[in-house]
Amino acid sequence: MFVESVVRWLVWSVLLQFGLCVSAGSCPPRCVCRPEARELICSGKHLNLVPEGFPSDAKCLDLSHNKIKTVGRRQFWGLLQLQDLDLSDNLISMIEVEAFQGLQNLRTLRLKNNRLKIIPVGVFSGLSGLRFLDLSQNEILVFLDYTFKEMTSLQRLQAEENDLVFISQRAFFGLHNLQELNIDRSNLTSVPTEALSQLQSLTRLRMLRLTISTLPNNAFRRLHRLRSLHITNWPALDTVASNSLIGLNLTSLVISSCNLSAIPYPALRHLVYLRFLDLSYNPITVIQGNMLGDLLRLQELHLAGGGLLRIEPAAFRGLSYFRMLNVTSNQLSTLEESIFHSVGNLQVLRLDGNPLACDCRLLWVVRRRLRLNFDGHQPTCSSPDMVRQREFRDFSEKELPRLFTCRPARIMDRRPQEARVEEGTTVLFSCKADGDPFPTITWMSSHKNVVSPTGRIRVLPNGTLEVRFAQVQDSGTYHCLAGNAAGNDSLSVGLYVKGVPRNRTVSLFSDEGWTEPTNLQASNSSAHMAKPYPFDAKTLIIATTMGFLSFLSSVAICFVFMFFWSQSKGQIKHTATIDFVPRSSMGGGGGDGGEGGRFTMKLI
């Protein structure tokens, strides 16, 4: 009896297991099945085709690292519970339309590192529940219109390292919930603005290693939910249009490893919610003062590995939340306290890799060396010689006043300079100063305006003031201001210009040709003057050229007119021949009239 019971139990067990295998499917050859996790692992089995006979309750199917070349129509039909499908690292070059039909519960699809060149419309039909799609490291050339139109739940699309040359305007149509898009190392030469405008739920966009040279106006229009924009390794990018980022509400912006020679202030001023800004590895030489004040919420600025030479005072004025500055590996010699809105909020400072001159301008940093976080990279002095190669943490409080010192600015030549000249004369005023650090030279005009390095009245690179072709209204007192971190010095000079009578004529040429101006020293003055040119050589050359071109144009028009007149001359008749029949005489009978006649007229 006992034996019969055991045999009956074994038979029922075998039948039950056979029934389950029939209902759920068996494990394909060369695959590993994990029934408890409902996983099928067929990775690295040298499969040339997608096997058949998968259990219908499988949730995860891994077919990566095989030699599969084609995915046929409805290849995975019946796997209604499948959520994760991995076809990465195969040789797939063709996917038929409706290949994934029936996988309405699929959440993740990986097609990375295959040989896809084009994706026909309809390939992703039936994947309305897909959340993640990886198409990276293929050979895709173009995204056609409506390629992803049925993937309404897709949230993340990986499309990096393809051969993309074009993205059609409606390629992303239907991706209403896409939040992250990655495009890396493709052949795109312009921003696909129209295609991107379909992604109105996009929050993160990464575009790396492209050959685009310009960010045009409205490049990312309609992306109002975009919060993070990452642009890296665009070696040709040298222009960011003033309205290229308009309409965006970014909190993080990265434009690194590009060819920007200046911070794109006009483009950034719209980003009032920006907190993180990275412009590293661009040939930017200066951060100008009072230009970032619109970025009220900015907390971090990274500008590492460029050619940064100086940061002007008030560069971060108004940035009350600013807490991290990274300017490592640049050419900065100092970092003055006046560039910050409040140094009390500063938490992290990266200054390493710069040729720092350890003087009074860096004293504020050294005194905060225990509170500031240098991110594990201590700043090091490059000059003067007595502190060369010393790290900031090596200094004691007692030696700081002795080592971190400056010498106030001092104007070297204080002899009075006064010039009395006639209108049209060029005048030079010298202003040489000394100090440690070397002082900056600023000139104030007689109207209390700062003189710029360009224009008729300008400051030369050596600090000399040049007044070219002096006018009566230029008369007055000019002030030279020399200043550095330790102090300022000033010098005043006088210019008096006498008007030239209107009927006075000046010889333009001498017997020896064009007369160059000669420098004369005014009495009791060190200012230099030069005889004026009524007209410079450039003006004369332009006037002569324009007159010559006008003459040639008139002659050419005359010749053209004569040519067309002569061509049409042979087509005009200058004579007319008229046939006539004279009337019969009044007294004649009813006979016929006289014979007809002909005469020729000359037409004038």
- Residue 523, class by beta-carbon neighbours within 10 Å (0-12 exposed, 13-18 middle, 19+ buried)? exposed
Q: Compare 402 and 594 and report the one with higher pLDDT.
A: 402
Average pLDDT over residues 70-95: 94
Least confident of 97-111, 194-208, 432-446, 530-544: 530-544
**Residue-level pLDDT at 3:** 42
The mean pLDDT value of the chain amounts to: 85
Q: Compare 564 and 179 and report the one with higher pLDDT.
A: 179
pLDDT at 293 over 90: yes
Structural domains for the chain: 36-211 (3.80.10.10), 285-405 (3.80.10.10), 407-498 (2.60.40.10)
What is the rounded distance in angstroms from the CA atom of residue 285 to the CA atom of residue 265? 14
Average pLDDT over residues 94-110: 94
- pLDDT tens digits for range 242-280: 999 999 999 999 999 999 999 999 999 999 999 999 999
pTM across the whole model? 0.72
Distances (CA, A) of 341 to 142, 315, 316, 370: 49, 8, 6, 21
Element (H, E) at 417: strand 417-422
**Residue-level pLDDT at 343:** 85
pLDDT at 582 over 80: no
pLDDT at 579 over 90: no
- For 244-259, b where at least 16 C-beta lie within 10 A, e where not — what string? bbbebebbbbbbbbbe
**Residue-level pLDDT at 503:** 56
How confident is residue 567, by pLDDT bands cut at 50, 70 and 90? low
pLDDT at 494 over 90: yes
Q: Compare 25 and 325 and report the one with higher pLDDT.
A: 325
Share of the chain above pLDDT 90, in %: 67
CB 154 within 8 A of CB 130: yes
**Residue-level pLDDT at 500:** 78
| Distance from chain centroid for Cα 14 | 70
- Residue 557, class by beta-carbon neighbours within 10 Å (0-12 exposed, 13-18 middle, 19+ buried)? exposed
Distances (CA, A) of 568 to 34, 92, 310, 466, 565: 96, 72, 73, 64, 5
- pLDDT tens digits for range 185-241: 999 999 999 999 999 999 999 999 999 999 999 999 999 999 999 999 999 999 999
**Residue-level pLDDT at 547:** 84
**Residue-level pLDDT at 512:** 36
pLDDT at 36 over 50: yes
How confident is residue 586, by pLDDT bands cut at 50, 70 and 90? very low
Residues 6+ apart with CB under 8 A from 187: 163, 164, 165, 211
Pick the closest to residue 402 from 381, 388, 386 (CA basis): 386
Average pLDDT over residues 420-425: 92
How confident is residue 509, by pLDDT bands cut at 50, 70 and 90? very low
* Amino acid occupying residue 573: K
CB 68 within 8 A of CB 89: no
Average pLDDT over residues 136-153: 94
